[in-house]
Each structure stands twice: as structure tokens, then as C-alpha cells.
Structure 1
Amino acid sequence: MTAVEKIEEQLASLRIAKRSVLPEEPAYLLDMDLSKPAQSESSRFVAVSCSNQSIRVYNRETLNFLREYRSCPGMLSGVRFAHACDSVVFSACGDGTVKCWDVRSASQKAVQVFRGYPSNVFISFDINCSDLIVCAGTEKAEKDTFLVFWDARGVTNCAGTTKEPLGVYSESHNDDITKICFHPVKPNLVVSGSTDGLVNVFDINKDSEDDALISTCNSDSSVSFVGWSGKDYKQVYCMTHDEGFCWWDIAQLDTEDPITLLHVLDARNTVCIENDSLHYLVGGLYHEKVDKLFLIGGTYTGNIHLINCGTDGLSLVGTLCGGHSATVRSFCWNLTDESLLTGGEDAQLLLWKPGAVERSFAKKTSMKSASSVQKRVRVHSSSLKSKRKVKF
């Protein structure tokens, strides 16, 4: 059995195990993250960023609601747990801050606030694997866009304090910075994506932004998602707002070989799905055990597609049906127990497990309030102008 066939078998065995109770104020579930397990333990919490400017925290196994944090004014952008402390969760906010909460506390007060500069509106962020550095990306203000960095040490024992930035990168992007993703194991490496079409890889240990910029790749479109893949995570990939996909091998930078592994202008036209269709891409996941990169996509009616990435193209692995009734916006795939968490525009949070049986199955109707979600990035310009030479 090939690696893809094994994953296909695992996907086919997934069934809905738990479904969160619909809250009094339904909202789109835009992003989610699992708390990092302590030693041999499993993840305890799942945090979800919602369209009503809140973060909701649930028990990861039961999907019982635990906490809700409000962040007004300003839309929240993403949610991330710390790596070493599974009760600490972060989110970036449109008010120019990254806030950190402790889910063990019932207090609505953030245990730490990372404050940007007056013009900053943060729409993306991440924390590195050593929990030492927080980085957030801004919307374009006048002619400027920034990657802002903070020292994240001491977040759990300095309750209520505010931290000022360590510094910024301001020259490498010229439009909204929509996604930031630190390297999974190397704390000094970070990749950023923007509506300017560029995907930049930085080594933040370098003294200047110019020296820190390792590579600039051009997706030729507005970037919606970035991630790392490959053995030792030496590859980066991105998705675009018009459902394109790009994949690069950074290890080839010092060779004569091209670094582009695959460039798909529109995945909706290339992935063949029998009796169904692909309407959008959600994100990606590199499966270390089988050394494969997979994409998650879906349909507006809630079907979820798992897509295999190869240098020869994209291909469907399998489809999950019957869970969501509207667009799926977020997911977490736990490779340890082969479970999957999904959230969408139907306000539902679902836990899928191999061979599970849901005790009370009642599919919810789709939410109709499309206006409740503000689009946080502008449509990219057709003429992409890079400040730097792009290497392919």
C-alpha cells in the first residue's frame, strides 16, 4: 500500500465523533489551533477565532465550551497556542496589538499585550517554535507595510504588562501581509505572504532586513496561506485568493536547479473530482510520516476534499461529506490520533475520528449572514510590482 493509499484509507474511516453546541450568537469559525501536548499527553484545548471578534476555547475531546475572549475594537486575525505552555493562547487584532490569554483564568484581561506602532493594523501573526519571538504583519498604511517583532519571553508571569516592539521589517513587501508562518523546528526562520504576490523567507538572526531575506518567490497573485513542507522543512508553499497554489524548494537556492516544484494557477480547474467540484482551498498540511504535502479544500455546501501534492500536479485523495452545511474555513489535523477538527461558516466545530459514531446527528442549516464577516484583505492588483529580484 502506498503512502497516499494509506492516507486515503484513514480519511475514509473518519466519522463525526463530536459536534459543538451552537452558541447563542453564531459566528463564522475562521481559524483554529490545538494546544501543544505536554510530553505524552494529548492536546487539551482547541481555540477558535470567530467573525464576531471573539476567541472561543473548547475542550479538545468533548468540544465542551470553556472560555470566550472578546477583543474590541478590531477584527481578530488568527489564533495560536504557545508551544511550551498549553494554556497560553495568542491572537492578533486590528487595534494594533497581539494579545495573549491564559485559558485557565476566567479573567477577560489579557496576560500580555504586544503593542505595535500607531498606524499598525495587524491581519496576520505567528509565534516561533521556541516561544521567544512573536511576529505580526500589517495592512498597508499609506505606502508602508511592516513585519513587527516582539520578545515573547515571560508571557505567563508578567500578567497585564505591555511589550513594545523589538523592531520591524519594512522593505520586503509592498502590500498587506496576509500570512506569517515560523519554521516548525528552526526558531530563526519565518515565511511571509502578501497581497503583493510575494512569499519571503527570512532568517531573523541576521542583523539587517536585507541580510535576513533568504529568498523571494513570486506567486503572481494575492497570497492567502503559507506553510513549510518537505524533509527538514526545506520547502515553502502558498495558496492564493484566486485558488492558485505554488510550491518551492528553498534547498535549491544555491544550485543551478529551479526552485519551483509546482505552480498551479487555479486548483479548481486541475483537481478532477467525480460527481463533485472544488470551490476553494483552505490550507495545507505536511505529513511527516509519509513525507507528503496535502491541501484541504471544499465546496460551498460543506464537503471537504483532501488533495495530494506532487511535482506532477494535484490529485484528489478523498472527500468528507455530511458534516458541514457551508464553506469550511479552518481545520486542525492531529496526526497522532488521526483525528480532524473542522470549523466553518455554518458556525459548527466538528471533531472527526476513525470509526466514530455520533450519538445525536442533527445537521445544522447554513448561516445566511454573509455580511457578518469583513474581508480583511483587498483584491490584489493585476500588475504585481516587486521591490526585489525574484528567483525561480
Structure 2
Amino acid sequence: MLAFRPVASSSLSLPSGSYIYSLAAALPGLSLAAISSDDSLRLFDVRSLQVVSVTAGSTHENGVTTLTEYSGVGTEPGLLVTGGRDGKVRLWDVRSASGKPMLEMTTAKNAAVLSLACRAETNFIVAGTELVSSQAAVVFWDIRSPRDHRLQYVESHNDDVTELQFHPTQESVLLSGSTDGLVNVYDMTITDEDDAVLQVINHGSIHHAGFLSEHAIYTLSHDESFSIHPTTDPDNTAQGPGPIRFGDLRQHLSCEYVVQTLTSGQGTHLAAGNTTEKRLDLVPLMPNPQWQFDQSNVSRLLGAHGEEIIRSLYLDEQWGSIFTCGEDGLVRAWKPDDASAGQDDQGAAHQEEAVTSNTKMPQAKKDRKKPKDEKRFRPYHIK
């Protein structure tokens, strides 16, 4: 086991009791962005975790829900996209001091935006919406003409659209996932919605889904059930391999919740947390001979965020650091520590406390009374 130790911790000067929802690269190698329950969009330095700027104090009128990078070949660094419960999608330039978005797009009926995907090379931003008036939409905009959407699919899902992801190599192929249990794969060049659907996977209420490779799709439900499915070729009617169903990962990986997948030059890992044991494991997901978890090569974040749930991870390969944020209102930076790989969890907790106390950041809110609201039990479905 490779152990990671916390080297810095910060509250980002957020109000007491805040949750930090998500992290994204702002200026690669320099700063990261975070969205939180106070509706702010903040930048912080990757070395010190000190706040660089508050891009927006009020990112969306009724609460920010999602954050992603707008990056690609030929695009300028520092562009971020947010979605909110006000039905707005906003493009921000973090280098600007105006506090205003560069562009703003609006969903039909101001349906809350729950998921985003961007393909900067083709100027596309896509949003998945909450179910409103029996309709949940996947909406496409070309940022060169943001006033009106370019395309919209409104019949493929009948509940909240919680996940969107573009295919890694095929620019016109998009995946969507929903709490209706379905994952759909579309060809965006086809405007007729029925004809545009290339593949449908029925898995269960989708927390996350995406492409593991050109030919493999993973599905993760809100009750932590996990499967891997081969992509299908509409022009090939031959029977292909079936899905690999791992079932409930809480049993399979001895965890309590799953955060996300994390892909790097070292492959794909699944981030699985355990608040009782105060740890978060990065478990390699290996493709050969068939997709399986390599539990003999786990990387462990010792102490994690204590008894609080981690909401998001970001891997900075340039600095060799992992960044986490969570329901304790903290961002933490982690570095590998080979010497501590064999220490027990109690020693890890002592080490974490020592590191945190040596920083000049506000103390972790470990002892505050946690509100018993829906966020604690359904942490990834922001309401």
C-alpha cells in the first residue's frame, strides 16, 4: 500500500458550516477552483492553499451545483463553466477581475442544471437538467452563438440528468446518465433524438458514469453498485461480451461511499471512502485480462477528512499532489509518503493532526454538530 499524508489544509475563508462541492483546474500548475455551499467560486494556490481570488461571490442566484473546466487544444487557460439551480450555465475567465461571467446560457423553463460537459475543440457546452414538468433535458450550446441552444434531447430521460461525458476520441459522441437508471450514448450529429441514441444501459439511479476507454463504459449508482459495459457498434450485429457486474462496492472494497474515478498517466483509480476508519482509498481499475480491481496496489489517504465525506478529488500530476474537498468545509493537499505505508490507522490519524496543526489555516471543524439534512445522506445529489 502506498500511503499519502496531508501536507496542508485550508477552509478557503469560507463561512462556518460550508460544504465544498467540487474542484477543478483554474490555471494548471498554479491554482485550483472550488465551488461551495455559500455559492462562491474561489481560486486557491496549489502550493499554499491560500485563496488567490473570489471569482464570484454569488455564482448562481439559487445555488451553484456543478463545475467543470473549459479546456482543449488551442484554448486559453483559466476558463471554467458552472451550472446552477437558476437554470443558468455560465462561462468564467478566472483572470478577469470583473466578477461577471463571459457568457451566460439558460435552460428551458429555467430547469436547474445538475451536470455539465465541454468540448472546447468544437465550441460545445452541454448541460443536463433536473426534471421539470415531466421533462429532463440534455441541452447543447455552441458558445459562438450562446443565446439559443444548438440541440436538445428531451425524451431520452424521465428523471434528473446527473452525468454527462464526451467520448475520449470521437468528438460527436456524448454519454448521459440519470436517476431514471439509464445511461445513454448519443451521436450529436443526428438531430432526431430517437436516431441519435447509439446505446442504452439500464443500471440504476446514476451517480457517475463515463468512458473508461474507447470501448468501455462504467456505471456507478447512488447505492454504490458498479458495472462496466462494452460500447456497442450499431453497424455490427454480432453478439459481443456482456457487462462485468461488481455489485455493491461497499462490500467489494470495504468502503462506505464512492466519490469518483480518477484518471492519470498511471491509469484509472476508483476513490472509495470510509468515514468510520477515517480513510480514503484509491483502488486501481485494471483492464487486463478483463476489467478488475487491483486491491494489492491501493493508495491510501491516511485520515482522509475524518468523519466527514469527501466530495471531490483532483490530481495534479505536475506537482505529484492529490487535492480533496469535503463536507467539513476544507481543502486538503496530499503527498505520497513511502515511509508511512505500513503504519496503522491510529498513527495516520496522529500524523494528520500534527500536519494540520502546523499549518496556518483554520482548524478542521471535526467536532461541530453535523446537520441532519439530505446532503449528509445523499451527498452527490445537491438539492
Match of 1:45 in 2: 31
Distance 2:175 2:141 in 1: 16
Aligned residue among 293, 301, 321 for 1:339? 321
8 Å CA contact 2:87, 2:112 repeated in 1: yes
8 Å CA contact 1:227, 1:236 repeated in 2: yes
Matched, 1:191 2:169: no
Match of 1:34 in 2: 25
Alpha-carbon distance change, 72 to 34 in structure 1, aligned in 2, over 3 angstroms: closer
- 1:60 is displaced (CA, Å) by 2.4
Aligned residue among 89, 96, 115 for 1:105? 96
Distance 2:370 2:41 in 1: 19
Q: Partner of 2:101: helix, strand, or coil?
A: coil
Distance 2:135 2:14 in 1: 40
Q: Partner of 1:211: helix, strand, or coil?
A: helix
- 1:142 is displaced (CA, Å) by 2.3
- 1:121 is displaced (CA, Å) by 1.6
Alpha-carbon distance change, 80 to 227 in structure 1, aligned in 2, over 3 angstroms: same
8 Å CA contact 2:12, 2:44 repeated in 1: no
CA deviations on 1:294-329 (whole Å, 9 max, x unpaired) are 210102254111123354644532321124221111
TM-score w.r.t. structure 2 length? 0.81
Distance 2:326 2:227 in 1: 24
Task: Point out where structure 1 has 5 or more consecutive residues left out of the alignment.
Answer: 1-7, 38-42, 155-161, 272-276, 380-392
Match of 1:211 in 2: 195
Q: Partner of 2:121: helix, strand, or coil?
A: coil
Match of 1:298 in 2: 273
Distance 1:78 1:268 in 2: 25
Aligned residue among 356, 363, 381 for 1:361? 356
Distance 1:72 1:337 in 2: 32
Greater Cα offset, 259-268 or 136-145:
259-268
- 1:205 is displaced (CA, Å) by 1.9
Q: Percent identity?
A: 27
Partner AA of 2:69 in structure 1: F
Mapping of 1:72-111 within 5 angstroms? 72-83=60-71, 84-111=75-102
8 Å CA contact 1:51, 1:373 repeated in 2: no
Mapping of 1:79-228 within 5 angstroms? 79-83=67-71, 84-130=75-121, 132-153=123-144, 163-219=147-203, 221-228=204-211
Distance 2:305 2:78 in 1: 28
CA deviations on 1:149-173 (whole Å, 9 max, x unpaired) are 111248xxxxxxx622112101211
Q: Partner of 1:361: helix, strand, or coil?
A: helix
Distance 2:111 2:11 in 1: 36
- 1:270 is displaced (CA, Å) by 1.5
Partner AA of 2:356 in structure 1: F
Alpha-carbon distance change, 312 to 354 in structure 1, aligned in 2, over 3 angstroms: closer
Task: Point out where structure 2 has 5 or more consecutive residues left out of the alignment.
Answer: 339-350, 358-362
Q: Partner of 1:163: helix, strand, or coil?
A: coil
Alpha-carbon distance change, 306 to 360 in structure 1, aligned in 2, over 3 angstroms: closer
CA deviations on 1:262-317 (whole Å, 9 max, x unpaired) are 2222101112xxxxx41000001234x45x43210102254111123354644532
Distance 1:198 1:106 in 2: 41
Match of 1:274 in 2: none
Greater Cα offset, 252-261 or 339-348:
252-261
8 Å CA contact 1:44, 1:86 repeated in 2: no
Q: Partner of 1:268: helix, strand, or coil?
A: helix
CA deviations on 1:193-224 (whole Å, 9 max, x unpaired) are 100111111121223222321111111x1000
Distance 1:116 1:368 in 2: 37
Alpha-carbon distance change, 61 to 182 in structure 1, aligned in 2, over 3 angstroms: farther
Alpha-carbon distance change, 131 to 324 in structure 1, aligned in 2, over 3 angstroms: farther
- 1:184 is displaced (CA, Å) by 3.4
Distance 1:199 1:31 in 2: 22
Matched, 1:243 2:224: yes
Number of residue pairs matched?
Answer: 347
Alpha-carbon distance change, 261 to 62 in structure 1, aligned in 2, over 3 angstroms: farther
Distance 2:231 2:59 in 1: 37
CA deviations on 1:329-375 (whole Å, 9 max, x unpaired) are 10012344432111111111112123499995326233544367756
Match of 2:344 in 1: none
Distance 1:67 1:373 in 2: 30
Q: Partner of 1:269: helix, strand, or coil?
A: helix
Aligned residue among 305, 321, 333 for 1:324? 305
